Structure 1
Amino acid sequence: MLIILESVLDGATLAQFRQLLADARWQDGSATAGTLARSVKRNHQLADSDPLAVRLGEQILQALGRNPRFISAALPRRIYPPKFNRYAEQGSYGVHVDSAIMGVPGSGQSLRTDLSATLFLAEPAEYEGGELEIETPFGAQVVKLAAGDMVLYPSTSLHRVAPVTRGARVASFFWIESMVADEAARSLLFDLDQAIQGLTPGLAADDDRLLKLTSVYHNLLRRWAQA
């Protein structure tokens, strides 16, 4: 399931991000790639320990904590601290799959990557190329979003970033370990929760139909979730 979250960052926050990242200390991104991915990764990233990356990453996590659609879609258990990358001058990332288990920097803990996230921080008109291409059961999906919008997709998916031929593509990316590991179960819960949220404004809080649907949702979550 591929889900678009619009306006994860508000206009003022986004403007601040863009200004700060314009003067950031970008490093060769291949140093953080896995053995197979290293040969196809051509971009720049901020170091995990860079104070700017830590500060902006915390702001992203705070914004996501206030985003009900993100919570509904991801059912997050753990989130890898957001990272930041920049593609320019033919920069690209060839076809790869994200590692299944990642160590969380500075925590001594590991995280299972159930969902991958890319938060776009450059406007589409500011660069050419740079599309995120995600393989799905229905073929490749091409994603190039407005600044401040984010895409969530299964970490099991093969994906690539097309070469940037003009300008610079700047984004934040990270991974989520969900309370519900099974993608199909998580998708069903998301659809059910979205239906409940859609019905709620038109029904009384004690409407029997709404209560039954809510009960089904929570009982399925109880069956599938690992808290």
Structure 2
Amino acid sequence: MKHAKPLPTYLVQRYQGWKATTYASNESWYRHLGTEGQHPRAMIISCCDSRVHVTSIFGADQGEFFIHRNIANLVPPYQPDGNQHGTSAAVEYAVTALKVAHVVVLGHSQCGGVQGCIDMCEGNAPALESKESFVGRWMDVLRPSYEEVSDIENPAEKARSFEKQAVLVSLENLMTFPFVKERVDSGELSLHGLWHNIAEGGLESFNPASGNFAPL
């Protein structure tokens, strides 16, 4: 592969620092993980946004979470049509092979993907409308739910509401997967919806009884 280049120096230095400190102090645990395999209790579906650091938010160690990240933390509906579905494959593996007890969908503030969907719905993102736009076609998963927030006039409030709507859409779509529904119905699996305020370090959880997100 002639286009690949050596790793940037700063990343090499960071790796070497990690190996000499964190790894050296926990070598037995890493060797255990490397020989015994993974047994995570939860799957976290979060956004690719570099500001959302799932393991830091929950103080998790290696091996504790099975993490899948994509644009706007979306789960598409169950659709085994022969196309490649990275998110669906991750959900299948977590639920059927790893037998996780929890699937958590984690949305966040200032989500660029969600804002892109708003822009598309309001006719302000012609580039995302192109059939060649991977981001635009991915955001089509969320697009039908725009009507839930279309009447909100304040842009910031609309974005925040739609970010939370993206979490709910993903939770609803998870239940279209037969193997997810089966384990939820049997009580072996629980689904959770969260929204993270990056600037304030806040975390809100969806309460199905009230139909709202509330601070933890």
Identify, as 1 or 2, the structure richer in helix: 2
Identify, as 1 or 2, the structure richer in strand: 1
Higher RCO, 1 or 2 (CA under 8 Å, sep at least 6)?
1
The TM tier, using the shorter chain, reads under 0.3
TM-score w.r.t. length of structure 1: 0.25
TM-score w.r.t. length of structure 2: 0.26
